[in-house]
Structures are given as structure tokens and as C-alpha cells.
Chain A
């Protein structure tokens, strides 16, 4: 089966501009997560969707970040306006409960965002 895909792989924007990251989860996975790693820091949870609903957005840094998952398929994460401290790698993961396997999260390759 196809894995989690993310687009773009790398984005370079200027401070104040807008960027939209996209994540396509594994087909059939209801759970979709966004994580971020800022340089030198640990990977941090941002938010969790169940289908199209936000289950937990406690990790979102501030209101410049907007995540959507219309129709419960792919998700977008928009940063508007971008600031220098938003630079980092943004990971998307998806999961689906399977008896005997639990909720293992499968990660995409990440989007490297650089704000200059």
C-alpha cells in the first residue's frame, strides 16, 4: 500500500509570507497527526484529526497555524504569516486501529520549511 505522502518536500519563504503544507495519509486511516521538529529540539505534537474533526489541537503554537482536513482525506497545514521561528521539519502521520496491532503511526518524509 502507498505510504503517507507530504508536499512539498522543501519550502523556502520569506518572513510574512504564507505557506500551505499538504499531507495525504494512508488510504483508510481515520487518524491523522501533525508533528514538528525545530532545529536542535525534539519532535513535538501539533494536532490530531479523527476523520475531518480536530480531536486535539493542544500543540498548535499560535493562531498563525491553521490545519484542515476537509472530507476526512488529505490535510493541509497553513502558516500565515510565517515567522522565522516557524522554520523546521513538519511531519504528518496516520494510523488506524487494528486488533493486535494498536494505533501504530506511520510517518511521511516530512516537509522542511525554511523562513528567511
Chain B
């Protein structure tokens, strides 16, 4: 069963920041938050992940609340190519190196010119 909830769709103006929220109120202490996105007809693409600290990479920033019950993915300057479905995922560690991804339904982000 999904461990995350996201708004089904969002719009963003090109060049502005896109802030995508995610609730994961049942997340356990050793479970990471991952973000992937899927551009039409392609496979999911890794964006960023975090445990409890905020993270930033060349693609995005991830802000995780102190209680870890929610997070926000920030695309600082959205472009038309960022139009995609964004998935907030809980990664479950099951022992050994098994890292199962538990997916939600995602947010369909439309970046408008």
C-alpha cells in the first residue's frame, strides 16, 4: 500500500519555482524519502532523496519537516522540459541490500510558458 499522498496535479509558470508537496505521515525511522519523475513514455528518472536533512543537487532541493511526516520537492527555475509526473516515494530497507520503492500516484506537473 502507498505510504505517500500527493496532489494529483499542479501548474507552474516557466522560470518560477515549482514546489511539490508530499505527505508521508506513517514513515518509519529508517525509511528514506525518494523523488522520481516520469516524462511521458519514458522510464522513471531519479531526482533526489533524503532521510531527515534537507538535500540539494543540480536538479532540485528536498525539504523534509522535522517530524518527517511531510516533504517538499523544489524545482528552483522550472522549464517546459520539467513537465512530468513527479513521484514521492518511501524506500523501505528490508535487510541485505533490498531497497523496495513504495510508490504513490504522483503529481502531474504542467509547466506553462
Contact = CB atoms under 8 A, between A and B. Distances in A.
B104 to A, nearest CB: 6
A104 B91 CA distance: 10
Nearest to A104: B46
B88 to A, nearest CB: 11
A50 B96 contact: yes
A1 interface: no
B contact face: mostly helix, strand, loop, or mixed = loop
B5 to A, nearest CB: 11
A91 B97 CA distance: 20
Contact of A107 (B43, B97, B99): B43
A45 B102 contact: yes
A110 B43 contact: yes
Nearest to B4: A42
Nearest to A42: B103
Contacts of A41: 105
Interface of B: 2, 32, 36, 41-46, 49, 87, 94, 96-106
